A = this chain, B = another copy of it.
């Protein structure tokens, strides 16, 4: 592999000059620049990024830590991050934290020790305080899916409370009064916010929140199934179920269908996230959007702007959820008020 030294010899210039044309910071005369370019071409020269990093104290890499690599979220988010960053010739190093405090911290440590120029974190288990301290360190950090007031300028987040409100409001405006709620894990901020939005809508419609009809689950399909089994075992009237994400909604619906309940005739459902798959199931799931891909893009832009001084990008930090009404929710018919109470 040719080095900068080989190039300098061949072009008859100094190392410094070669370095200059590579980074075209300083002025180099067109003539020498051309000589250097020719030499590079001839030798098939490729700069050694490791050496560049060591000398310049910049790795051109940004670390991304997400809670989990699989599932419908991480992919779209990564797609945007990778695209945005690679077009600026930066690369992405990934790690996952598994929603566990220890693992999340280890992931951060790991990425920092790799000399990342910046970190994009989608973490759930670590405390606000930890993140605040982290953001005071020398490595710039931006957070996805998290809002911390003290460092809000580095948070890219969805208005989850509003989303929870929208979902429930939609159901209520359809005339439903006997609602159940399947929540995500309440140690996660988004789950708490969505639930809070749910409660706000209930209050607005003067409907009491029944803690027994609110089940805390895990954001997974099987979690939704389990929660639904539990809800049905209560033998309370339920005409609609608001789910904190689409995956749980799908799991819950599958349980109902298996028991012969018709959706939405006997029981309505609404999810959250608007992931692609449930748009292809029967019935198509009503839901609230979660533009995770846009948020990934924004986080990448934040890094480009703050760390790599790209002046051409604007960053938006707050995203609004949007209601998508499809086929799993319908107006309450008198006939089904007690549909699933024996």
Q: Which residues of A contact B (CB under 8 A)?
A: 46-51, 53-54, 59, 61, 68-72, 74-76, 78-79, 82-83, 86, 91-96, 110, 112-115, 221, 224-225, 250-251, 253-254, 257-258, 276-277, 279-282, 284
Task: Assess the B50–A115 pair: CB atoms within 8 A.
Answer: yes
Contact of A250 among B50, B72, B281 (CB under 8 A): B281
Q: Name 21 interchain pairs, CB-CB below 8 A, sorted by A.
A: A46-B113, A48-B115, A49-B113, A49-B115, A50-B50, A50-B54, A51-B54, A68-B75, A69-B75, A70-B75, A70-B76, A71-B75, A75-B75, A78-B94, A82-B95, A91-B93, A94-B94, A221-B280, A250-B281, A254-B280, A254-B281
A92 to B114, CA, bound (A): 11
Q: Which residues of B contact A91 (CB under 8 A)?
A: 93, 95, 110, 114
**How far does the alpha carbon of A68 sit from the alpha carbon of B277 in the complex, in Å?**
17
Could you tell me the distance in whole angstroms from the C-beta of A228 to the nearest C-beta in chain B?
11
Docked pose: A81 CA to B63 CA in angstroms? 16
- State in angstroms the CA–CA spacing of A83 and B69 once bound together: 10
Residue with the highest number of chain B CB atoms closer than 10 Å, among A70, A78, A95, A112? A70
Cβ-defined contact, B75 with A79, below 8 A? no
Query: How far does the Cβ of A243 sit from chain B's closest Cβ, in whole Å?
Result: 12
Q: Are B79 and A96 in contact (CB under 8 A)?
A: yes
By the criterion CB–CB under 8 Å, are B282 and A281 in contact? Answer: yes
A280 close to B250 (CB less than 8 A): yes
Least Cβ distance of A268 to chain B in Å? 16
**Chain B contacts of A54 at CB under 8 A?**
48, 50-51, 54
DSSP class of A's interface residues: helix, strand, loop or mixed? helix
A282 to B283, CA, bound (A): 9
Contact A82:B69 (CB < 8 A) given known A113-B47, A114-B49, A281-B282: yes
CB atoms of A282 and B280 under 8 A apart: no
**Other contacts beyond A91-B110, A254-B281: 4, CB < 8 A:** A68-B79, A75-B75, A91-B95, A221-B276
Closest to A89 in B: B110
Residues from chain B with Cβ under 8 Å of A71 in the complex: 75
Q: What residues on B are CB-neighbors of A46 within 8 Å?
A: 112-113
CA distance A71 to B72 in the complex (A): 7
Contact at A69–B79, with CB atoms within 8 Å?
A: yes
**Minimum CB–CB distance for A152 against chain B, Å:** 28
B221 touching A277 by the CB < 8 A rule?
Answer: yes
Partner of A282, one of B51, B95, B257: B257
Q: Which residues of B contact A96 (CB under 8 A)?
A: 79, 82-83
**Nearest CB in chain B: distance from A126 CB, A:** 18
Q: Tell whether, in the assembled complex, residue A82 and residue B94 are in contact, meaning their CB atoms are under 8 Å apart.
A: yes
Question: Which residues on the B side are within 8 Å of A48 (C-beta)?
Answer: 54, 115
Choose one: B86, B95, B276, B279; the contact of A95 (CB below 8 Å).
B86
Using Cβ atoms and an 8 Å threshold, which residues of chain B touch A94? 78, 82, 92, 94
Report B-chain residues with C-beta under 8 Å of the C-beta of A51. 54
Residues in B with CB closer than 8 Å to A70 are 75-76, 78-79
CB-CB nearest in chain B for A60: B114
